[in-house]
Structure 1
Amino acid sequence: MTDQGLVEAVRRTRELVEQDRDTHLPALAGSLNSYGGYLAAAGRRTEAAEASEEAVRLFGELAGQDRDTYLPDLAASLSNQAALLGQIGRRAEAVEVSQQAVELYGELAELNRDAYLPNLATSLNNHALREAEVGRRAEAVEVSQQAVALRSQLAELNSDAYLPDLAASLSNQAALLGQIGRRAEAVEVSQQAVELYGELAELNRDAYLPNLATSLNNHALQLAEVGRRAEAVEVSQQAVALRSQLAELNRDAYLPDLAASLNNHATRSAEVGRRAEAVEVSQRAVELYGELAELNRDAYLPNLASALNNHAALLAEVGRRAEAVEVSQQAVALRSQLAELNRDAYLPDLAASLNNHANRVAEMGRRAEAVQLSQRAVELYGELAELNRDAYLPNLASALNNHANWLAEVGRRAEAVEVSQQAVALRSQLAELNRDAYLPDLAASLNNHASRLAETGRQVEAVQISGLAVQLYRELIALSRDVYLPDYVRSLAVQGSTLSRAQRYGEAVVPLTEALTVGQELPEYARRILEGVVALLREAYRASPKDVDRAFERLTGQDLSSWITKR
């Protein structure tokens, strides 16, 4: 039915309700639910939420009169409303509403387990997403586990009917596990989802190929998170290939999914050093989202802004910095428009784009402008963290870390130290709450803070802090060497730099030599780090040739002066 047809159906039903409320109220509630779904699909999310809210109110009224008949409809409407509230940024309300849906389905399942257990599992799956959106990620994982458990039971009883639901819950759970730092588990669970969808696609290709493509897309992300980047690229390429096939068969239905997979594949390609290819792929994603946004601005403008944000970062990586600035400016402009229309939904995205744009501007030497942009990002994330600390405190810490760098670049070093200290403090709090998820961020902030301290002459503190960063990265590479080895090498370089600044040149040789040694394990695309390490060794040698040469020979058995000449 068309938009006009649905509006007319709702209008006619309202007229009938005025004539005979008892008879026609259920039909009006159902029509509003259908209309809300249509509006959401068209990207008119605020209108969709309004329609669903009215449907919930009407089904609530009906359930008050006849609970047995209308409680299932009320539960379904609440679940629908929660999703729509989440989409327009009213996330705290969305959690409350989805919790109500879970409770109602729980009550219904107690009365009739066979009929309502599937609905309870679905409502738990959705509630987990709502919990994650407000930053309650540990709770989200627990709820998603309940959904997986119920759907596992159902799939054992009837594999044909419930295996698809189990696969969906596993895919959802994998993403949530990744968010709380349980990355190895996330990979295992996302692999299970891929296998189940693969099995289903063999039985019914038309029905499940889209789901298989989605699960591959998600699995690629989880693989990348544990450093299995080469595998991640292969898997994301498979997702692109499947979605390309689907888009050829039905362009209208699957073009958005293809654009999303291209965006993901661009990032995966860049992570293995295939940066030129990444730029081409991300450009294609931008073009597709641009095409979609022309057809339906409300639905796809947010996606276009995200694709532009990603494309700008990849352009910068291949040295096309002027283009990168233009593209990131476009992302900021689009997200500013979106935030004006719906501040709750799009302010986080605007803050992220401002942070990204600050980096792009700084790369062009426009550092004063970068400071202003990063300051604005900090302010927005601060505002968001006041409203929802759990959800946005990690983003605020990242923005502070970034802002400290740009303050240092314009010579405001004392302020930079204060800001980087704030980032360390926030990330220390986060790591205490969830060490697995936030230890990498804390290590990065300590590394950054050490550099900021050294720049203000606080060399003793800088050496201490850089040592802490190295310790944390040692812990992290023991857990996942592939993921954290580049960061570990950088932390050794920073430690060597801080020791040199403290005129402890002989001691500086120890971390710098280790950086060169373990750096040989780095993939070719990541070895640019080592150029900086060699430069630091040269500087230390120039400052104190005897001490540095003696330390280097003790560690390696080589004469540093001849070694440097060969380099």
Structure 2
Amino acid sequence: MSIALALDLSEVGRPQEALAASEESVAILRQLAATNSALHEPTLAAALNNLGNTLSAQNRIHEAVSVAETAVLLYRQPAASALPDQEHHLAVSLHTLGLHLSEAGRPQEALAASEESAAILRQLAADNPALHEPTFAKALFGLSVELSVLGRFEEALPLAEEAVLLQARLAQSDPEAHLPVLAASLIDFAAIFSAAGRPEDAAETGERAANILWRLAEQDPHTHLAPLAGALNNLGVDLMDAGRQQDALTATEKAAGILRHLVAYDLHGFGPVLTATLYNLAGRLREAGRPADGLAATVEASVLRRRLVEGDPTRESALARALRTLTTDLATAGRHEEAAAVAEEATDLLRGLARSDPAAYAPDLAGSLHLLGDCLRKGGRWEEARSAFRQAVAIRRRLARSDSDYESLLAFSLHDLGAMSAVLGELDESQVDLEEAVTIRRCLARSDPARHEPDLAFSLVAMANILGEVAQFEEAHAAADEAVAIRGRLTGSSSAYFEPALAQLLSTLGFNLARARPRQHARALTITEEAVSAYRRLAERAPSVYLSDLAQTLHDLGSRLSQVERPELAAVATKEAVAIWRGLAGPERTFERQLATALRDLATYREEVKQRADRPSSEERPS
């Protein structure tokens, strides 16, 4: 069976038959080469190259490397040296070997093969440009890619530019032969620019590639529409990185439109690519302030995943991932009942997959259960939510026993399980789960504070709330103090997600302690002062959200100061609360009751100050 037949079968989408033909061709040529190496080894080397490419296309990368290495060895043999184009064949085989080594995760060896290939072809192209420049340009670009994989961008970028300039010159003389190659190189050149941290250059280069492919697709849509869709999708990413959001959205919309057309003809060939593009489109639409359109794109992607599974059950895990993404988007849109239904479907799929392959799917099942619990919680289905969190905890606890990387996820599920038990009024269970979450997160924070201290503070706040509810005020205050100390160490936005909960905790804890323990007014005052500081920070960032909380906590602070007989400062704090309430009241008189109460208390504190001022000192009292 010939090499040509194997290539034909591969090109018409019959990979298994192509592989069988390639293997048979190699087997025959091995036998012939054993009897006459001079005559048959060069042909055997060519057949091995073809077999390596066929194996690579079927993701049998390590076998492809072995076969390509054998081909290179054969082209170095004396039998091959007699060929007039031996150096050319050796260079091409080295280039192919470099590609397979790169796919196999062996970048240094891939670089060595690519360097040798480019060096040979540079000399050949100098001697005979018409014959060897096209192959040299490909090898040169392959070398630039290998250098970029190793982070050697200063060497990679000049080589990529040299290759693109050469291909552009070739395309001027023969557009039909070289424009598609130039477009493919520009796409890879854009990727190198992106990896080198030059998003503007990446976007500009990607636009050049897309423009070429638009022209080619107009002439030959069958051949060039699919590469055009890929180029537009990549261009959307580069434009986004370059800060050109509207252009990124336009490029991604065009990519999705082309892929929808292609899916109508080949669902399984283009469906997965369209799905990925739709997820990109959903993100672009949300960032453009069009969340409903973004959700519609996510729904379309999920429907497409279902269609793909109907024809290929092995895609169930991809469908489960799609459903989880849809769950998140529905929940973000406030459609919690729908989100819970989709999350249940994803969880059921993953249960089946985890039964057949626990090692592969148990982590995803735990994540899906946690997501389901969150959706059920937001929909007010608290018992069911707690059940889902409990199942997630059980799986993650098993995973964490053998792999400590799962400890942070276990703590995450324990935290939410504890919070759910608290909502259901089962404070003892809540305390146990939250204390375990705190213990895990303390341990993790010791080794990586930047990553884990915000989570630790969040769990400390939740635990302190429970301790306060059961009147363990000393323990609650200690946990709150630890959270406050963490807040003081954090910079930027890393405290943003737990600070509202911390502020609320401090405000509530100060109020409850003052009410339940009259002899601890000084401690209650300190806690309330910390609450005011927390709400001041929050109100600076989001006044419309937190100014009313700041006013209420300032009013509480006035009460705490009055309880420790400091009416002057009580009046100052309450006066500020009054000013905030007045500003918030507006024509709707929204906060009229709070304003009236604060004004009454302010008058009381001012009267206390006046009475103290009028009271004679000990020197002035009559004997």
Q: 1:359 to 1:71 in 2, by over 3 A?
A: farther
Report what 1:54 is aligned to: 67
Q: In the alignment, does 2:484 pair up with 1:460?
A: yes
Q: In the alignment, does 2:252 pair up with 1:236?
A: yes
Report what 1:505 is aligned to: 531
Q: 1:32 to 1:416 in 2, by over 3 A?
A: same
Whole-angstrom CA distance in 1 between matches of 2:210 and 2:576: 52
Report what 2:118 is aligned to: 106
Report what 2:306 is aligned to: 287
Offset of 1:118 from its aligned partner? Answer: 0.8
Offset of 1:253 from its aligned partner? Answer: 5.0
Question: Aligned to 1:245, what secondary structure does the other structure show?
Answer: helix
Q: Which amino acid aligns with 2:227?
A: N
Offset of 1:19 from its aligned partner? Answer: 2.6
- Given that 1:187 and 1:223 are in contact with CA atoms closer than 8 Å, whether structure 2 keeps it comes out as yes
How does the TM-score come out when normalised to structure 1? Answer: 0.67
Selected match of 2:291 from 273, 280, 296: 273
Report what 1:119 is aligned to: 138
With 171-180 and 215-224 compared, the bigger mean Cα shift is at 171-180
Selected match of 1:247 from 248, 263, 272: 263
Report what 2:583 is aligned to: 558
Q: Which amino acid aligns with 2:74?
A: E
Question: Aligned to 2:583, what secondary structure does the other structure show?
Answer: coil
Q: 1:334 to 1:224 in 2, by over 3 A?
A: farther
Question: Aligned to 2:492, what secondary structure does the other structure show?
Answer: helix
Q: 1:11 to 1:273 in 2, by over 3 A?
A: same
Q: 1:555 to 1:79 in 2, by over 3 A?
A: farther
Which ranges in structure 2 are unaligned for 5 or more consecutive residues? 1-8, 10-16, 331-335, 375-384, 417-432, 463-478, 510-526, 559-569, 595-623
Offset of 1:563 from its aligned partner? Answer: 5.8
Alignment deviations for residues 9-28 of structure 1 (CA, whole Å, 9 cap, x no partner): 23322322233233222222
User: What fraction of aligned residue pairs are identical, expressed as a percent?
Assistant: 19
Q: In the alignment, does 2:50 pair up with 1:34?
A: yes
Report what 1:217 is aligned to: 233
Q: In the alignment, does 2:360 pair up with 1:360?
A: no
Whole-angstrom CA distance in 2 between matches of 1:263 and 1:236: 10
Whole-angstrom CA distance in 2 between matches of 1:357 and 1:25: 55
- Given that 1:76 and 1:101 are in contact with CA atoms closer than 8 Å, whether structure 2 keeps it comes out as no
- Given that 2:23 and 2:51 are in contact with CA atoms closer than 8 Å, whether structure 1 keeps it comes out as yes
Residues 57-206 of structure 1 correspond to what in structure 2 (within 5 A)? Answer: 57-65=70-78, 66=80, 69-81=85-97, 83-84=99-100, 90-91=104-105, 93=106, 95-113=107-125, 114=129, 115=132, 116-124=135-143, 126-127=145-146, 131=149, 138-139=151-152, 141-142=153-154, 145-159=157-171, 160=175, 163-175=179-191, 186-202=202-218, 205-206=221-222
Q: Which amino acid aligns with 1:285?
A: L
Offset of 1:210 from its aligned partner? Answer: 2.0
Q: 1:553 to 1:59 in 2, by over 3 A?
A: farther
Whole-angstrom CA distance in 2 between matches of 1:376 and 1:212: 47
Selected match of 1:414 from 435, 439, 449: 439
Q: 1:559 to 1:539 in 2, by over 3 A?
A: closer
Offset of 1:213 from its aligned partner? Answer: 0.9
Selected match of 1:313 from 314, 325, 330: 325
Alignment deviations for residues 396-444 of structure 1 (CA, whole Å, 9 cap, x no partner): 7xx776555334334121212332554545x6xxxxxxxxxxxxxxxxx
Whole-angstrom CA distance in 2 between matches of 1:381 and 1:177: 37
Q: 1:181 to 1:370 in 2, by over 3 A?
A: farther
- Given that 2:245 and 2:284 are in contact with CA atoms closer than 8 Å, whether structure 1 keeps it comes out as yes
Alignment deviations for residues 107-140 of structure 1 (CA, whole Å, 9 cap, x no partner): 21441344253132331354267x3xxxx5x44x
Question: Aligned to 1:469, what secondary structure does the other structure show?
Answer: coil
Offset of 1:314 from its aligned partner? Answer: 1.9
Question: Aligned to 1:158, what secondary structure does the other structure show?
Answer: helix
- Given that 2:548 and 2:584 are in contact with CA atoms closer than 8 Å, whether structure 1 keeps it comes out as no
Q: Which amino acid aligns with 2:371?
A: R
Alignment deviations for residues 42-99 of structure 1 (CA, whole Å, 9 cap, x no partner): x3x22x5414412322322331435685454445445445555665xx42x2x13321
Whole-angstrom CA distance in 2 between matches of 1:290 and 1:415: 39
Whole-angstrom CA distance in 1 between matches of 2:539 and 2:409: 29
How does the TM-score come out when normalised to structure 2? Answer: 0.62
Offset of 1:277 from its aligned partner? Answer: 1.3
Whole-angstrom CA distance in 2 between matches of 1:81 and 1:333: 40
- Given that 2:49 and 2:68 are in contact with CA atoms closer than 8 Å, whether structure 1 keeps it comes out as yes
Offset of 1:558 from its aligned partner? Answer: 1.7
Alignment deviations for residues 335-379 of structure 1 (CA, whole Å, 9 cap, x no partner): 998998xxxxxx8xx798468436425524333443455567779
- Given that 1:355 and 1:402 are in contact with CA atoms closer than 8 Å, whether structure 2 keeps it comes out as no
Report what 1:485 is aligned to: none
Offset of 1:537 from its aligned partner? Answer: 5.3
Structure showing greater radius of gyration is 2
Q: 1:449 to 1:516 in 2, by over 3 A?
A: same
Q: Which amino acid aligns with 2:444?
A: V
Q: Which amino acid aligns with 1:509?
A: Y
- Given that 2:137 and 2:167 are in contact with CA atoms closer than 8 Å, whether structure 1 keeps it comes out as no
- Given that 1:171 and 1:189 are in contact with CA atoms closer than 8 Å, whether structure 2 keeps it comes out as yes
- Given that 2:203 and 2:235 are in contact with CA atoms closer than 8 Å, whether structure 1 keeps it comes out as yes
Whole-angstrom CA distance in 1 between matches of 2:68 and 2:233: 35
- Given that 1:174 and 1:185 are in contact with CA atoms closer than 8 Å, whether structure 2 keeps it comes out as yes
Whole-angstrom CA distance in 2 between matches of 1:329 and 1:143: 51
Whole-angstrom CA distance in 2 between matches of 1:9 and 1:355: 49
Alignment deviations for residues 221-265 of structure 1 (CA, whole Å, 9 cap, x no partner): 345557766654443222111112233455675444334433443
Whole-angstrom CA distance in 2 between matches of 1:209 and 1:416: 51
Report what 1:327 is aligned to: 346
- Given that 1:125 and 1:169 are in contact with CA atoms closer than 8 Å, whether structure 2 keeps it comes out as no
Question: Aligned to 2:533, what secondary structure does the other structure show?
Answer: helix
Higher relative contact order (CA 8 A, sep 6+): 1
Q: 1:62 to 1:553 in 2, by over 3 A?
A: farther
Compute the RMSD of aligned alpha carbons.
4.6
With 313-322 and 75-84 compared, the bigger mean Cα shift is at 75-84
Q: 1:338 to 1:212 in 2, by over 3 A?
A: farther
Offset of 1:103 from its aligned partner? Answer: 1.3
Whole-angstrom CA distance in 1 between matches of 2:351 and 2:94: 34
